[in-house]
Chains A and B, each alone.
Chain A
Amino acid sequence: MKKWLLSIFVIFTFASYVVYQRTNPGDKVIPENTVKQPAVADFEKGEDRDDDDDDDDDGRNAVARVAKSTQERAPVVNPQTSTSQSAPSNSSNAPSSTKTTGQYKDGSYTGKVITTIYGDVQMRAVIKNGKLVSVETLQAPNGADTSIEIAKMALPVLKSEAITVQSAQVDAVSGATQTSKGFKGSLADALTQAKI
């Protein structure tokens, strides 16, 4: 009988907590101007600008600056630290917890899949104590084994070697300048979801 009572108590407590969470979304809303203004201000400081030597850096800088401003702004103390959290979820668009500090809600946010000329890219941003603590690559073109016939081919063994720097003079050098806009696009989407 004691076990029954304990179980009912636990279930009731959890249900109450869930109801409380659902019926009180208002306390997490911060007026838009107090959130967005600082981000814009940071953007206009022009940090990180001097190393931009190309013409397609808009996405990257937006993400980098947002992340930076978040870290600077995040409060140290989080009164809700001990609050029980719902189970982590990896499903798209589903934050895994609801703590609220700084500019972003805590949780992990999965960005939408961005299709690039290199294949699909998907990123996940993890926010802890209002800070961006990690960026994970869920899908990258190099990891994509799907849909290509070559995946089914018996691959011949090709010669390999460790690269070594050559000192000889050359007429020209071949190297890459390609960018990976998809990474930036998906990450920016994840951070948009994380915004309070």
Chain B
Amino acid sequence: MTLTDKIRKVNIEPGSSFHQLLLMVVLVAAVAGLSISSPFFLKWDNMRNILDQSVINIIIGAGMTYVISSGGIDLSVGAAAAVCGVIIALLLKAGLPVFPAAAAGLLAGALLGGANGLMVSRLKVNPFIVTLASMSVFRGLTLILTKSIPIYSFPTEFTWLGSGSVIGMPVPVIITLAVVALAWTTIRRTRLGYYTMAIGGNEEALRRTGVSVDYYKTAIYMISGFTAALAGLIVTARLNSADPLAGYMYELDAIATVILGGTSIKGGHGSMAGTVIAGLFLSVVRNGLTINGIASYCQQLLVGLIILFAVVISERSGRRL
């Protein structure tokens, strides 16, 4: 095989190893460029900011990778994060210890996601519509539960989950590493991961083999609800406050992270490694724009453009054959 043939054989489609490598190169280039443009960029406090932001993107992105790989979408993750943060806050305020309160909040997230999943799988309603409606329902629920007033001041054992550290490693980063390891393993090595891709690739083919597609679809949305709740927990703990407006536009960042990471918007292919790299990249870009004095509305514009770019590449690629 000639060198030209070898070059031709390189898989440059989204989600491929080459795509991930390219994303990594872009990430390193962005870090290098921003560290030159601003002397504050590489300071530990700023790195901590980037990590704080990226853990949210990556955790929600891990669940969203499942959903988008299955050919679905979950627009409710931001609102789900907010309502679960509020549930945990209310339980803590009611005197419940940290562990059961956190567990109840995470369970609530999984159940809310499961409700989305049941409507998508059993009632055959378009996931875009289902999760658009549930986004509004969850946000409304959050406002009702809080009466639009933030709940704040929690026990230190709880705030430690958002701002503590273990041997110098921030607790949210440790949680994120655990989530990523679990999500990467399950999506690549378990039936759940295989069926997620199969549902995205050819749902009817999987159904004909006797696999309960509805069961797995519901499970996929439950995972998304759970990761949204976990993000809500971390944000609430970090800010020591459950804000009814928390999680605003998280869904947009999560979708951008997943698509930019190489997961096919059409379903059938997902890249958890790509989600992690893209999550870091988006946080680096946002942070770089902030410390270089670029207004937040311009950042919103940029994220929108990144999503558009990534979706166009995903749509035009031959990944979904």
Whether chains A and B associate is no
Residues of A within 8 A of B (CB): none
